[in-house]
Structure 1
Amino acid sequence: MPKSAYTLKCYECDSGSCINQEKVCPSQGQQCGALRVLSYAGDLKVSDINVKICALAEQCVEGSLNFGISRTIITSKCCTSDLCNTQPAPDASISIPNGRKCFKCDGQQCNATLMCKGDEDHCISTTVSFGGEKMIVKGCASSQMCASKQTAQITGSIGAEIDCCQGDYCNSASGTSAGLLLLVAPLISLVMFS
């Protein structure tokens, strides 16, 4: 007798009021997940999104994208048994500079130094399209944010390619416009849960 496909039952809620509702995951291979996305503009927290979902393995990441004036930190806790995502995602740890240095965009130039924090061990450069204009942004990222599946998920919705490299200042210092930096973190936050 053939076995029927088994999918998990997980708690689901959005950031508004996290009242747990049970949901059967739509496909096999999904896990129960609790995710948290924190977005900062400078030192000011601009959003704190907590959700519980049926998650794909590539959504169960922890890491950050840091563009200097904006930073997005993602934490998650995923599990593989029915209704196991009762607890929220862990708080993001306090990030202190780790000694790595990358270029960031400041005004019209991308030659300012950004001190990477926490587990940010890569320099990044990406092009963001907005209103028909393309703008380059540069900064630091943790290795999981540079992983191919994660990058594909982020770039699929904002129309950007993220180039990651390791080594101080490996994201070159060419001059570009950086007027939309404040929009990047909220866009990435939205992409993670769309």
Structure 2
Amino acid sequence: MHILALILGTVLLPAACALQCYECIPGLSLNCTETTKECPSNTQCGSFRIISYAGGTALADVKMKMCALAEECSEASVNLGVAQAVITSKCCTSDLCNTQDAPGGTIPSPNGKKCYQCDGIDCTKTLTCNGNEDHCISVAEGETTKVKGCTSKMICSNTQIAQISAIIGAEISCCQGDLCNSPSTAVTTTSHLMMLLFVTLLISLVLFS
């Protein structure tokens, strides 16, 4: 009898103790429906918020909820010069605790690090990075450079880069060190600002898709 109870307890306990979190992951429409989800044992409940800026003005405010790894529960940003995106998070470890939205983020202060950025077709201009942006980023399609700028370490993990590249159909590379994303000439066929906003928002959204 004791052996049977032990076996049943071993089988049923993980299911009974699985963390339940709210989940709401928007698509490209930026809308989502909140549901509940049983999360893996190595995750927390997380609320995330992505605010995209153009010229210092907030243009999009995307909120989402999901199961999250501890390393994802941090602040990050993508800075392409005119267009930027700031990611904030709020994580917790009890059932359905991610009821509140993550706090709104603002453009962080300059940190002194520098990367190359693209201004129109000129990718030789320098950009001062902000906050915890400690990597330089480049986005290219074939031999054509699309955008360059600064970004945070979280966005530059091998897994994230591979996922983002596959979805947006472009090669993304990161490096660490001032001006490590070598200068070049960009060729664009759409509005430069629209390209920057599109890539910035997509990079941010794909992180949590």
Q: Could you tell me the TM-score, scaled by structure 1's length?
A: 0.82
Q: Which stretch of structure 1 is more off in the superposition, 5-14 or 94-103?
A: 5-14
Equivalent residue for 2:11?
3
Question: Are the counterparts in 2 of residues 59 and 150 from structure 1 also a CA contact under 8 Å?
Answer: no
Distance in 1 separating the partners of 2:78 and 2:85: 5
The answer to whether structure 1 residue 117 and structure 2 residue 117 are counterparts is: no
Change (3 A) 1:30 1:153: farther
Which residue type is aligned with residue 49 of structure 2? Answer: R
Aligned length: 190
Alpha-carbon distance in structure 2 between the residues aligned to 1:100 and 1:37: 23
Query: Could you say which residue in structure 2 is the equivalent of 1:183?
Result: 198
What do you get for the CA RMSD once the two structures are aligned? Answer: 2.8
Distance 1:153 1:30, change over 3 A: farther
Q: Does 1:138 align with 2:148?
A: yes
The answer to which of 184-193 and 108-117 deviates more is: 184-193
Specify which structure has the higher proportion of helix. Answer: 2
Structure 1 outlier segments of 4+, above 6 Å: 14-19
- For residues 99 and 181 of structure 2, the distance between their equivalents in structure 1, rounded to whole angstroms, comes to 40
In 2, Cα distance between the equivalents of 1:128 and 1:70? 19
| Partner of residue 84 from structure 2, selected from 41, 54, 71 | 71
Shift of 1:181: 1.9
Counterpart CA distance in 1 for 2:159 and 2:64 is 21
How far has the Cα of 1:117 moved from its partner?
A: 0.9
Q: Tell me the equivalent position of 2:167.
A: 157
Please tell me whether Structure 1 or Structure 2 has the larger radius of gyration of its CA atoms: 2
Report Cα offsets for 1:76-122 as digits up to 9, x if no partner.
12223211213321332551111111110011110011111111111
- Give the distance between the partners of 2:134 and 2:24, measured in 1 at CA: 32
Unaligned segments of structure 1, at least 5 residues: none
- With over 3 angstroms needed to count, the CA separation of the structure-2 counterparts of 1:107 and 1:74, relative to structure 1, is same
Between stretches 72-81 and 1-10, larger displacement belongs to 1-10
CA-CA distance at 1:151 after TM superposition: 2.3
Give the direction of change, closer, same or farther, for the CA distance of 1:187–1:56 in structure 2 (3 Å limit): same
TM-score (norm 2): 0.77
1:25-68 per-residue CA deviation (whole Å, 9 max, x = no partner) reads: 26554431100011111211111111222335564342111111
CA distance in 2, matches of 1:137, 1:72: 14
- Contact in 1 for aligned 2:144/2:186 (Cα 8 Å): no
Which residue of the partner structure matches residue 181 of structure 2? 171
1:137 shift after superposition: 1.1
Match of 2:102 among 76, 89, 109: 89
Unaligned 5+ segments in structure 2 are: 1-6
